[in-house]
Structure 1
Amino acid sequence: MQKIAAALAALLIASCSFGQGRAIPSERPKLIVEIVVTQMRYDYLQRYFGNFSDNGFRVLLEEGAVCKNAKYNYSFTQSAPGLATIATGTNPSTHGVVGDMWYIPLTDQNVKAVQDSKTEGVGGFGDLGKVSPRNLLAGTLADEIKMANKNSKVIGVAMEPTSAVFLAGHSADAAYWFDPSTGKFMTSSYYMPSLPKWVDEFNQKKFPDIYIYNKWGLTKPLNKYISSKENFDTTAKPLLTNPDNGLGSMLKSKSRPTYEKLMDTPYGNNLTKDFAIAAIVNEGLGKDDATDLLTITLDANKHIGQKYGPTSIEMEDTYYRLDEEIAHLVKFLSDNIGKQNVLVVLTSDNGVANAPKFIEKSKIPAGHFEPNRNLMLLKIFLNATYGRGEWIKAYHQKQIYLNHTLIEDSKINLAEMQTKVANFMKQFSGVAQAIPASVLEYTSFTDGIMQKMQNSFYAQRSGDVVINLQPGWVDSDEVVTSSNSPYSYDTHVPLIWYGWKIKRESISSKVDPADIAPTIANLLDISWSNAATGEPIKELVR
């Protein structure tokens, strides 16, 4: 840790030429920093507030504008749709990112949200470099910033490519993410043919090697933690009560080091913040009057929450460690660019459900939906009804994709089969709604769960039948819990504005993360992103 502190101190010294700037806010912020903490529920801020330091989350909460009722307005609250919604200011039904992955019938392929076979990795290997924002069908706030001023810079930073790519938009100068096979940050040929010198130099410092040999222990005495002492995972063992929980053993046990487990610890967030500061320094972000945009996605929280559960000590400790990283970043921005010149926006891509085992202890209905078993029964039903055949092509997080070619060749009415499948799926425990695509495509819903499901629907990419589970139910897979529902635990996220011209206030009116892009565009007095349906938050733009 001392090596990292020394290296970061050198970065701070190198950046002293930025200066603190004027005491009076600039006409427009010199730098906008969008921070997305993955899978962060709004209630985390209140739950852990008493144990936060004075300089991290408390600074944002006590000096910024806090939107207390920010909720996504669609059903499939996965990471990629959330990031795309923040970036574009509209819902999946318009920007087209219906999930982290979807199936394309015309090409018979499962497609990841940022997958792009036309690109290659730069500074990394394999499919991790075959990514771009081309699957995002709408323009973004970042694109408008670039078009408004050619001197503005836009850079996205994250551990995962989807997080870096979508928030940075189509016109970004760069998006960087982590290659766990090499322990280095990389990018795609969509952005550049080779890594900048400063990125190579950062990679050569081998910060991941330092982090990965650290133990992850409690940051506070055990009796200070408010989370449950129980572990609700069926596979992962509690980490923070293990006296020998160093991560270095995973390097020693492999002939080729792997850094994947950094994502399962708070050190993934530390590394992302380190790289973000390096980007500010070396790219000169916030140095002139052209507004720059830096997006920082902290991906580790999602992985930790899914592995240990949102009520675990591991999750709680992650937020105390993140609190320290937020404090460091905010102080850096204030000291080197000036609080009055930087607009910080902190939010999340989605919330998360409590682990069903935890809920059941309170006698609240909950459970795991078992897609593999239920789809097997569905296949038997379809074979009995229509004859033997591969009637189902894919299932991705509550979306069932049927075999359109076989259905057409068999002269079966597609809408009729969709309806039969939907009715069959409604019989399973935990299913609240199962809706045929034909209903969502040709019926307009104006409120409630059905509107949220329609806001998640894009005909060319969504399933033939989409499912909504009952409250408290999640898909059964290798994680403790997940997010992917229209309920408040998945849709309600933090939204905090801090810095440039932002007054301290508590905003209780209902807002949508789709409002972020239009609000910033309004503050900058530039065009909205081309498909934006959100509205500027009136308390911030009055």
Structure 2
Amino acid sequence: MTKTYFTLFSLAFCFIFSTFESSAQRKDKMETAPLKTAPKLVVGIVVDQMRYDYLTRFWNHYGNDGFKRLVEEGFNCKNNHYNYAPTSTGPGHASVYTGTTPATHGIIGNNWYDKVSDASVYCASDDSYTSVGTSTDAGQMSPHRMTVTTITDELRLHTQMRGKTIAIALKDRGAVLPGGHTANAAYWFDAGKWITSSYYMDQLPKWVQDLNSSNKLAKYKKPWDTLKKMKDYVESGTDNNNYEGLFEGETSPVFPHDLPKLWDENGGYNLLKATPFGNSLTTDFAIEAVDNENLGADAITDFLAVSYSSTDYVGHKYGVNSKEVQDTYLRLDEDLARLFKELDNKVGKNEYTVFLTADHAAIEVPAYLKDQKIPAEYLEWNEMDTEFNQFLEFTFGTTEIIKEFSNYQYFLNHDVIKNLELNTQEVQETIAKELMNYTGVDRTYTAYQMWQNNYTHGIPYILQNGYNQKRSGDVLVVLKPGTISYSKTGSTHGSPQIYDTHVPFLLYGKGVKKGSTVERTEIADIAPTLAVLLGISFPNGATGTPVSQAID
């Protein structure tokens, strides 16, 4: 009996001691854990129209220093989604950098009907500023329509404006919105020149002027042929098919695309936007910015926001399944490798942090899906409008009860509703029910539903996150999966369907763990994750949640 008691006492003692020791180790670890990570530079990369499966589909063709470096040495969120609609470029960039959705940040589309001015507005336009670097109005831009701060703003505030933010994209909205309200500079491409707005500066820096006046872009005025042998591009469809668009002057959508021959008829240097060379010249400019702005040169964290826009132009023209899209991603992989090599040399391999995501994904060309016996179709709005207008006349006595149609939302004329002594909620519901009768429409929702309910999952959750009470419409329309209102060639996006929401979120570099997760993450989680990593304030409208598994 005594031996038994002794054994139990020994076990209890060991358990208590080990628990105490483990607790002490945890406490010690907590006390020594750093409050933040301090990279010299954060690099935000947004690839326009990148589906998540472009990582896996083209994996065997990628080199070791681009996408593979991010995946194998960083953290991969495999189940990352946009949690709102419309899934388009302006809202996408705003959501990545604000850590919230259009319901909060206000960028509800690339363009939308503005109820205050009774006119269509563009997400980045601002005629109170002038163009810098061009005589056109292409530089009249600012982030003033975005109503909250970005992660770039918060970093600037945290460093007392000593940390620099430089934003770069071919598209103005791909630079203006990521740069936030406090960027030192945002640059975009127009007619062979890098330009900006007087919102940021009165004249271009000398290094940008020198680059614009140089002949460095001329090397991209060349035929676009495949990077590798076309016979090896087995992950894509045939080169010549009916699902792809054409450049002006082309008779078939096949390689090689003779850019010098097509040059004048397709906008000169703007032609490069719809080729992988647009991504290459973006990379060139980003490297010049690192050099000339001394980004990452000291202990105060800077931010370089780079958006690759050509992938979107190529996707719209040729479609998800095209060899052009595959070639564009293989060339982008080389551009990423080139950028990372420069950052290794100039900032230090373990001294910067990168995230890569997309502003939206894209649908397979419906005409192609139909030929594969997969349900898909095109919605012809003009044909639908004729019948819809007849319904409005019969039901309300006027078509003027509809003020505008924008981003798959009908805006009602509330003055007409008031004059007719109608109930707004009943008008919304009547119109929503009518729209359900049309081919291609999957479901409809009303503004009243968006105001009264708190949706937590599914399509209504996505719509509600995109619904801004001050800016959005009265009746929301969702098309059936596989249905678009677009040309019969090329891919598009914008819907709440999963093919438009599933995009990469890769983290790499200082402060990032190696690994991956299949748990759902959302696009609004990116900025909070960076905020926790950097130890700075969340953007002031942030609704996302940090991805804790990714932070070292």
Tell me the TM-score normalised to structure 2 length.
Answer: 0.89
Matched, 1:349 2:351: no
Q: Write the deviation string for residues 95-130 of structure 1: whole angstroms up to 9, x where unpaired.
A: 111111111123111011112121111112433222
Deviation at 1:377, TM superposition (A): 2.3
Q: Which moved more, 1:245-254 or 1:496-505?
A: 245-254
Q: Is the 8 A contact 1:435 1:467 kept in 2?
A: yes
Deviation at 1:390, TM superposition (A): 3.1
Q: Write the deviation string for residues 219-268 of structure 1: whole angstroms up to 9, x where unpaired.
A: 1112100201053436436877345x2212344459xx632221111111
One-letter amino acid of the structure 2 residue matched with residue 241 of structure 1: V
Give the SS at the match of 2:311.
helix
Matched, 1:179 2:190: yes
Q: Which residue of 2 aligns with 1:133?
A: 143
Give the SS at the match of 1:339.
coil
Q: Is the 8 A contact 1:371 1:476 kept in 2?
A: no
Counterparts of 2:125 and 2:545, CA distance in 1:
30
Counterparts of 1:116 and 1:274, CA distance in 2:
28
Structure 2, gaps ≥5 residues long = 1-35
Q: Which residue of 2 aligns with 1:295?
A: 305
Structure 1 residues 406-485: aligned runs within 5 Å: 406-477=416-487, 480-485=490-495
Seen in structure 2, the aligned counterparts of structure 1 residues 526 and 489 have a Cα distance that, compared at 3 Å, is: same
Q: Which moved more, 1:293-302 or 1:65-74?
A: 65-74
Q: Is the 8 A contact 1:232 1:355 kept in 2?
A: no
Q: Is the 8 A contact 2:81 2:502 kept in 1?
A: yes
Matched, 1:304 2:314: yes
2:225 to 217, 234, 237: 217
One-letter amino acid of the structure 2 residue matched with residue 163 of structure 1: G
Q: Write the deviation string for residues 463-491 of structure 1: whole angstroms up to 9, x where unpaired.
A: 22111111111123476221112222111
Structure 1, gaps ≥5 residues long = 1-25
One-letter amino acid of the structure 1 residue matched with residue 543 of structure 2: T
Number of residues of Structure 1 aligned to a counterpart in Structure 2: 511
Deviation at 1:393, TM superposition (A): 3.2
One-letter amino acid of the structure 2 residue matched with residue 103 of structure 1: Y
Larger radius of gyration: 2
Matched, 1:152 2:160: no
2:519 to 506, 509, 513: 509
Give the SS at the match of 1:215.
coil
Matched, 1:85 2:98: no
Q: Which residue of 1 aligns with 2:29?
A: none
One-letter amino acid of the structure 2 residue matched with residue 219 of structure 1: L
Counterparts of 1:165 and 1:178, CA distance in 2:
12
Q: Is the 8 A contact 1:240 1:314 kept in 2?
A: no
Q: Is the 8 A contact 1:379 1:392 kept in 2?
A: no
Matched, 1:535 2:545: yes
Deviation at 1:522, TM superposition (A): 0.6
Q: Which residue of 2 aligns with 1:11?
A: none
Q: Is the 8 A contact 1:38 1:348 kept in 2?
A: yes
Q: Which moved more, 1:470-479 or 1:313-322?
A: 470-479
One-letter amino acid of the structure 1 residue matched with residue 338 of structure 2: H
C-alpha RMSD over aligned residues: 1.9
Q: Is the 8 A contact 1:378 1:421 kept in 2?
A: no
Seen in structure 2, the aligned counterparts of structure 1 residues 383 and 90 have a Cα distance that, compared at 3 Å, is: same
Seen in structure 2, the aligned counterparts of structure 1 residues 357 and 296 have a Cα distance that, compared at 3 Å, is: same
One-letter amino acid of the structure 1 residue matched with residue 433 of structure 2: N
Q: Is the 8 A contact 1:98 1:456 kept in 2?
A: yes
Seen in structure 2, the aligned counterparts of structure 1 residues 174 and 113 have a Cα distance that, compared at 3 Å, is: same
Q: Which residue of 2 aligns with 1:10?
A: none
Q: Write the deviation string for residues 33-74 of structure 1: whole angstroms up to 9, x where unpaired.
A: 001001100011100001112222111121111111111111
Give the SS at the match of 1:41.
coil
Q: Which moved more, 1:466-475 or 1:376-385?
A: 376-385
Give the SS at the match of 2:167.
strand
1:398 to 394, 400, 408: 408
Give the SS at the match of 1:383.
helix
Deviation at 1:376, TM superposition (A): 3.0
Seen in structure 2, the aligned counterparts of structure 1 residues 207 and 420 have a Cα distance that, compared at 3 Å, is: farther
Structure 1 residues 153-302: aligned runs within 5 Å: 153-180=164-191, 183-211=192-220, 213-225=221-233, 226-229=235-238, 230-233=240-243, 235-236=245-246, 241-243=254-256, 245-252=257-264, 258-302=268-312
Counterparts of 1:373 and 1:38, CA distance in 2:
31
One-letter amino acid of the structure 2 residue matched with residue 379 of structure 1: N
2:77 to 47, 56, 67: 67
Which contiguous aligned blocks of 4+ residues in structure 1 show a shift greater than 4 angstroms? 237-240
Counterparts of 1:331 and 1:146, CA distance in 2:
26
Q: Which residue of 1 aligns with 2:345?
A: 335
Seen in structure 2, the aligned counterparts of structure 1 residues 125 and 377 have a Cα distance that, compared at 3 Å, is: farther
Counterparts of 2:543 and 2:76, CA distance in 1:
22
Seen in structure 2, the aligned counterparts of structure 1 residues 171 and 136 have a Cα distance that, compared at 3 Å, is: same
Q: Write the deviation string for residues 284-305 of structure 1: whole angstroms up to 9, x where unpaired.
A: 0000111000100001111111
Counterparts of 1:87 and 1:303, CA distance in 2:
22
Deviation at 1:133, TM superposition (A): 0.6
Matched, 1:42 2:41: no
Tell me the TM-score normalised to structure 1 length.
Answer: 0.90
Give the SS at the match of 1:340.
coil
Give the SS at the match of 1:53.
coil
